[in-house]
Amino acid sequence: MGESQREILLSLSGHVKASLAKIFAARYNKVIVMQTLTPETIVALITFFGCFYGYHSVYFYLSRRHTHATRKGRMRQAVAGALMQAIEEGDHLLVVHQLRNIIMSVTFLASASVLLLSFIISFSGVWETILELPQLSSRGLRPYDYPIWTIIFTLAVSFFSFLTALRYFNLLSMLISAPPKALTEMEGTEPTKYLTDLFMRGSDSYTLGRRGFIYSVVAAVWFLNVWVFIAVTILVTVWVAIFDR
């Protein structure tokens, strides 16, 4: 075998080794990604999002469709009576003052949620993780990324829920003094029912935003132990369903 042929074979063998090394490295990275998402992590994510989003979806549905089943549903009837009385007596200013107090509270909580969200993103290494998103498919999420992203996602939902609540409450404060006939022509329903729906939608968004604070603190327990986090999530949901409904 000539010297040139030997060099060609050595070069080919080097390319083959490099290709095999890349294939094994890619497979190894995939194994690392799969190992990161452990069964405990899957159970924790299902439990958290099921308790937080699943419970509140059912709770808000029952409050709207079966008013006597929840305290919020019964409150809806009281709010409808108060708005009807305000419209009949022309006491719109009282409703506006009450809404102003609510709007101030919601504004404060929205500011607190976005500040807390900014703090977590700045000091927990999340910003570096965001910059590394193009390499996420090869690197995968690290074990401590799951609780961090869970907290961030929950606080983001809390913030946008507060913004939605502000929208409904501000709209109600503007339309409470509108002529009933104009509201009927605009929405095709009774003014009291439409205004009550605005208030209850704002109330639902406010409730979800406030609960987001609670569950973001619960998500921080994940850093201690995943099974303790699952247990605390279930216990907090049971407490919310019994005492904070």
Statement to judge: residues 144 and 182 lie in one domain: yes
pLDDT recorded at residue 46 = 93
Domain check: are 218 and 169 in the same one?
yes
Q: What tokens does 4 get?
A: 């040139």
Percent of residues, the chain, with pLDDT higher than 90:
19
Same domain, 8 and 65: no
Is there a single domain that holds both residue 5 and residue 107? no
Q: What is the mean pLDDT of residues 57-71?
A: 80
CB-CB contact of 162 with 206 (8 Å)? yes
Could you tell me if 141 and 115 lie in one domain? yes
Q: Give residue-wise pLDDT tens across range 183-233.
A: 787 877 788 888 888 888 888 899 999 999 889 889 889 988 899 999 999
Token pair 């929840």 is at which residue? 70
32 and 48 both lie in a single domain: no
Look at the chain and report how many structural domains it folds into: 2
N residues, the chain: 245
Spatial CB neighbours of 164, under 8 Å, sequence gap ≥ 6: 201, 202, 205
Whether residues 165 and 222 share a domain: the answer is yes
Amino acid at 68: H
User: Rounded to the nearest 5°, which phi and psi values hold at 188?
Assistant: 70, 25
Which residues span the domain enclosing 8?
Answer: 1-36
Same domain, 150 and 186: yes
The pLDDT of residue 31 is above 80: no
Q: Of 99-103, 197-201, 241-245, where does mean pLDDT reach its minimum?
A: 241-245
Same domain, yes or no: 48 and 14: no
Same domain for 75 and 11: no
The predicted structure's pLDDT at residue 174: 86
Same domain, 23 and 100: no
Same domain, 13 and 117: no
